[in-house]
A = this chain, B = another copy of it.
Amino acid sequence: MNKTIRSIGVLTSGGDSPGMNAAIRAVVRAGAFYKLKTFGIYEGYQGLIENNIHELTARTVKNILNRGGTVLKSSRSEEFRTEEGRKKAHQNLKEQNIDALVIIGGDGTFTGGHIFSQEFDLPIIGIPGTIDNDLYGTDYTIGFDTATNVVVECIDKIRDTAESHNRLFFVEVMGRDSGFIALRSALASGALDVVLPEENAPMEDLFNELEKSEANQKTNKLVVVAEGNELGDTFKIAEQVKNKFPHLESKVTILGHLQRGGSPSCLDRVLASQLGVAAIEGLLAGKSKIMAGLIDNKIVFTSFEEAINGKVPINKELIRISKILSI
């Protein structure tokens, strides 16, 4: 056990995700369990720079396990990208006697943490908190399971009205670079097609699926579109479909930030609890510049570099199954 760590700070940064609060609670309570002092750093790296830092105890994190968002708030800090900003941040940590950090967020968060850790030789462990599931080194990121459930519940509602009017619906979901939310929610919603950033599928493919669904007399016509797909803006996709199939009345729904919210699922709460404890135990074991993840149900530590740069390929098998089942 690393004897020098007596006090740790925890922050959330980047886009918030459901389960971040469960992770904060786990970090603080595991800290308390191991007799560490724990500090909450508010508003991400910007709060580190502005010294927006307050002590947290096992009791101050009660009743947050089941709440969406992050009680520590989040931000994207331009200042932390500068050396000067990071110096201020380090100065504040020194003054508060904080020996190590747990950072909860996505690749932007880890990139910042990696540089900061190197510059000041500060032990830092990351926890993957993002709805996008696009981090290498963990099967699931915290928030992904909840986000897919939110999307599926929304699409179930849209199906009610789609089915009632024999309409075609395009539902745009989050995922600038990755189609994980889109693919799983499309499969789980019985969508007739899904448009992914990872696949460079031509518009013809979508046309074919629509023709097949017409031929098969599908009454439930849903297409899930990941925002970062290559065919472009969902409204434009809808327009092209309109031109090709003038008789098909279609509507577009953009789910937007709705997907980030909501009470975390059981899976996300358990995952966040496991990773929060793992982060504290990792720091105490002398680890740093790594992300704690869960692979095949086992805690795995992956270096920040790998976590950021590793490619997480889309699950081709799910694409295959999706095509079989939309028959």
Contact = CB atoms under 8 A, between A and B. Distances in A.
18 contacts: A12-B164, A16-B161, A65-B189, A66-B189, A67-B160, A68-B157, A74-B164, A156-B262, A158-B258, A159-B261, A184-B270, A185-B266, A188-B273, A251-B257, A267-B267, A274-B317, A277-B324, A297-B315
A218 interface: yes
Interface string A244-284: 00000001111011101111011101100110110000000
A200 interface: no
Interface in A71-106: 73-75
Nearest to A20: B164
Interface string A146-162: 00111111101111111
Contact of A66 (B156, B257, B297): B156
Interface residues of A, number: 86
B16 A74 contact: no
Sort A-B residue pairs by CB-CB distance and give the 10 closest, nearest first. Answer: A157-B261, A68-B160, A69-B160, A160-B261, A188-B269, A16-B164, A69-B164, A148-B266, A296-B296, A253-B256
A59 interface: yes
Contacts of A270: 184, 187-188, 318
Interface string A34-62: 00000000010000000000000011001
Interface in A5-55: 12, 15-16, 18, 22, 25-26, 29-30, 32-33, 43
Contacts of A267: 145, 148, 267
Interface in A273-327: 273-274, 276-277, 296-297, 315, 317-318, 321, 324-325, 327
A136 interface: no
